[in-house]
Amino acid sequence: MRRGKKRRFGVSIPEDTACRLRELAETLGVDRSTLVTEAVDAYLHEKSHASQPHVCEGVLVVFHPPRVTASIAGVFEDYTDIVVARSHIHSGSTCIEIAYVKGSTETILRLEKDLRRAGAEACKYVASPHTYYDQASLFG
């Protein structure tokens, strides 16, 4: 995916952070600039996701005990307008619900709150990188 012009600038980071960055870049087979761009994009979005209202899309991963499966499913039924797809996975004594959602951050955050209230042990939202580019225009 092309993102236009790039800019070079000097950043000082601790020696061990630089080593970990180089090692991870080698392990993943990508250059350090790509890795840093990905990390900074994700961090910037994460910091503004809850505070800057925007249309967002991404994957919501929900871990919950089997006993609350019906309640969790019930919450998802209330959000069919933003849930694009979802699937359920059993792993030992844990249930994992994976949903792709697309909608306003207000609605996505409300969905997360309702899921926790319904008995979810953990919710993790990972925004699609497309969201970063669309959102970049908000910050000029």
Chain contacts with Zn ion (rule: CB under 5 A): 49, 56, 90, 95, 127
Q: Which of 44, 61, 75 is nearest to 126 (CA)?
A: 61
Q: Is 3 exposed, middle or buried (0-12, 13-18, 19+ CB in 10 A)?
A: exposed
By C-beta, is 20 or 113 nearer to Zn ion? 113
For residues 21 and 40, the answer to whether their CB atoms sit within 8 Å is no
Q: Mark out the alpha helices in 4-95 (DSSP H runs).
A: 15-28, 32-49, 69-77
By C-beta, is 35 or 109 nearer to Zn ion? 109
Structure tokens at 105: 């951050």
Task: Give the shortest CB-29-to-Zn ion separation in angstroms.
Answer: 28
Task: Give the shortest CB-88-to-Zn ion separation in angstroms.
Answer: 6
By C-beta, is 82 or 127 nearer to Zn ion? 127
By C-beta, is 1 or 11 nearer to Zn ion? 1
Angle CA(113)–CA(49)–CA(47) in degrees, nearest 5?
Answer: 115
Task: Give the shortest CB-8-to-Zn ion separation in angstroms.
Answer: 28
For residues 130 and 57, the answer to whether their CB atoms sit within 8 Å is yes
Task: Give the shortest CB-49-to-Zn ion separation in angstroms.
Answer: 4
